[in-house]
Amino acid sequence: MEITMLYYLIPSLIMFCCGVYGFITRRNMIAILISLELMLNSVDINFAVFNRFLFPGELEGMFFTLFAIGIAAAETALAIAIIINVFRVSEKIDVRDVNKMKF
């Protein structure tokens, strides 16, 4: 049995869909952030997989993943800072409570 590209893409896709499901259903903002990380991660996998299977001589996909990881780290740190700040103000981290940015 040959492990082709499809075998790598399917788990990545499932991981992405899990992220979507979690993002939509969870109330806790940290949980939402976790879902986000899942989605990002699945995209990272895709980059690496495409690079390895389709353009083995190049390193573009790998570097994209590398930078995506860096940016994800930055973004997570900021998001958590915001969440902690929100928690300080309202004692809750339920996403339904953070709806003042409307109208």
Residues 41-80 that bind other proteins (CB under 8 A): 41, 44-45, 48-49, 52-54, 56-60, 62-63, 65-67, 69-78, 80
Distance CA 32, CA 102 (A): 20
Number of residues that bind other proteins (CB under 8 A): 79
Closest separation between CB of residue 25 and other proteins, Å? Answer: 4
In the region spanning residues 77 to 96, those forming contacts with other proteins, defined by CB under 8 A, are 77-78, 80-85, 87, 93, 95-96
CB of 48 to other proteins, least distance (A): 6
- Work out whether 35 is an interface residue with other proteins (CB under 8 A): yes
Q: For residues 72, 77, 82 and 85, what is the CA-based torsion angle, rounded to 10 degrees?
A: 160
Residue 85: alpha-carbon gap to chain centroid: 22
